[in-house]
Amino acid sequence: MLPVAVWVALLGCLQAQELQGHVSIILLGATGDLAKKYLWQGLFQLYLDEAGKGHHFSFHGAALTAPEQGQGVLAKVLESLSCPKDVAPDRCAELKGQFQRLSQYRQLKTPEDYLALSKDIEALVQREGLREAGRIFYFSVPPFAYADIARSINSSCRPGPDAWLRVVLEKPFGHDYLSAQQLAEELGSFFQEEEMYRVDHYLGKQAVAQILPFRDQNRKALDGLWNRHHVERVEVVLKETLDAEGRTSFYEEYGVIRDVLQNHLTEILTLVAMELPRDASSSTAVLQHKLQAFRALRGLRRGSAVLGQYQAYSEQVRRELHKPDGFQSLTPTFAGILVHVDNLRWEGVPFILMSGKALDERVGYVRVLFKNRAFCAQSEKQWVGDRSRCLPQQIVFYIGHGELGSPAVLVSRTLFRPTLPAGSWKELEARPGLQLFGHPLSDFYAYGPVREQDAYSTLISHIFRGRKDSFITTENLLASWVFWTPLLEGLAHEAPRLYPGGAENGHLLDFEFRGSELAFCLQQPEQLVPGPGSAPPRPSDFQVLQATYRDSPLVSAWPEELIAKLADDIEAAAAKAVQRFGQFHLALSGGSSPVALFQQLAAGHYGFPWAHTHLWLVDERCVPPWDPESNFQGLQTHLLRHVWVPHYNVHPMPVHLRQRLCAEEDRGAQAYAEEISALVTNGSFDLVLLGMGTDGHTASLFPQSPTGLDGEQLVVLTESPVKPHHRMSLSLPLINRARKVAVLVMGKLKRDITLLVSRVGRQPKKWPISGVLPDSGQLVWYMDYEAFLG
């Protein structure tokens, strides 16, 4: 056994070896605005925090600028750096001088430049007798430059096998899902996932960074409160008084949703909504739980958003981007979004995201407002802030600015006294007269940071320490774009509400929510004669068009109005059937087109007789019921979770029997046919909802698979030309027994088949949809303008 002295000596050697690790930090785009304003100060703060701990650094400012000019710019930036207030001036000057000597500018343009940098770092490490710990490359450059820089780093400037590499990336990370995926794949070809740190600087804001620690440290108090039974709503808000002047080139491409909501506010939302890991200090667990929260977000639609644009914006765009005099931008500078999280904890709780430019104040906060079930017999004058249960109960993570002017965590005194880290947070002093959300500061337990710190300083420290939970992984990034891209595409041609800006906005941007819909509280005054700069007409300005198609009634409108009309018609048919027969048998197709209909029925049709409704499937893919491809899974996600249909009235197709999928010998099709015959009088559904494919198929009846187009079978197994190939479907004869058949056709991709089918006769073997004609019922076509008119 080794003596204690030997163990102490060995430990000392190991610690000395660790302390001698050298870290090189290369700031790309070192002379740009972001670097000059925040990043160099953040790197200096890192040096201040770590200088006395034995770490060795070198800082390399890199850009395309010529060396002489770049050195001059860098010298001015380094001279402007400042120390925290608690650092003595002499000590600050000493540390600043050390940092300046460790910092140098170099031009990086070619792979040879990166190779030369790598050799210089290796020479420095060897000359000083140090061990290279790692290299940090901070990309403060536009995303279009990422690929070339990444290729040069990967080929010429990686550290040795015993050192780590960390690559820091700034937003924007794509414009939509496809561009984000392409950028992620490109970067993934050069770097491992654990090497990439995507920055959302709001995750470094002190109040935001405190959300998870607060939830963890107050777990006992929050366990019974942080759920749908007690939370009324959650607000995530970022308001700005400045407009986009000078930045319209960027803003025209991105707008407020891509600039703020898709990243900053969504990241904050997930910190509030995610399940809290048992070990909240585990980066891996936090990132996994955030991803689960992303995947639980209910899909957005056009009715989930209200948009605005300050009146001077289009004129600024015309001036800065040299647009013609009549140009009117549709880019929103204000957005309110209603989000729902589809899980047991948050079902039914509205999450409101709101951001905008040219508003009445600059402020950011996350506000969790709790339900108040108390009734106070005494008058409001007798309510005392720390005792009256009738006062609003809320927890606020105050990001900054506004009336308070600094980051804070606020908890209503009627809830509980929170626990915060004593070393870094302190209770705020009383500020008589200060009102927050209509109530005095004294109504809250209010805490602020002991020392305010810039977000970039916090994040640079986390990068240095390898803390991944403060950054955006590839999976989380793509999950966010999956959530936002459909809404962005749906709003691309939506004209935003114009607002004057600042205090003059009044109540023009106030909005309210009903179910999953948002709407402005005030109707915008109508302009009988459009004036200069007036907004183009909105799709909703056009009325629903009534016509005929294939000698049957046709309803055509913009998608939102079309879905609303179809939902109204289905409810009317349901009410009529229940009144006559006591029940309503509805057969629904799967796929993407009915999703908006399901959401409309779930959100806005409270008089629908769900208790007397039987739900059937028109067709199903031969996959397990929990598979995302399952039509039943789509029905469950978008409709059944939100309405009260008795479970015995829900009839999924039996495609998964005896652990097999659509096996002939399991007789699933025959079983479904027998169930229909037993429950549906004469096999005549009250309403069948169909779609139409671009090849003319309907249900799962395909041109090259004649099964189910005629004969006696009610339910058949068919083959699809696309995966999953095996399907189960109602037959055409059974569909034609229905009292009413509604065919929903949406989108530009359906224009060609719509035109073709309008010209052909009844040829179901070529175009199965042409065989739909109820024997004694009604056929109604529902087409949006893009499918009908192109």
Residues assigned a catalytic role: 264
Tell the residue number behind the tokens 């201040």, with chain if given.
48
Rounded-to-integer distance, Cα 615 and Cα 212, Å: 42
Rounded-to-integer distance, Cα 746 and Cα 749, Å: 8
- CB contact set of 322 (below 8 Å; sequence gap of 6+): none
Give the CB-side neighbour count of residue 162, counting CA atoms within 13 A: 8
Rounded-to-integer distance, Cα 786 and Cα 450, Å: 58
| C-beta pairs of 373-379 under 8 Å, 24+ apart in sequence | none
CB 729 within 8 A of CB 655: no
DSSP classification of residue 472: B
Amino acid at 212: L
| DSSP string for residues in 744-761 | EE-SGGGHHHHHHHTT--
DSSP classification of residue 781: E
DSSP classification of residue 430: P
CB 655 within 8 A of CB 595: no
E strand map for 319-452: 334-339, 351-356, 363-370, 393-401, 408-412, 425-427, 435-436, 439-440, 444-449
23-to-42, 132, 164, 538, 670 alpha-carbon distances in Å: 15, 6, 9, 56, 70
Rounded-to-integer distance, Cα 790 and Cα 786, Å: 4
Q: What share of the chain is helix, strand, coil (3-state, %, to 5)?
A: 40, 25, 40
State both tokens at 377. 């017999």
Reduced to 3 states (helix: H, G, I; strand: E, B; else coil), residue 384 is: coil
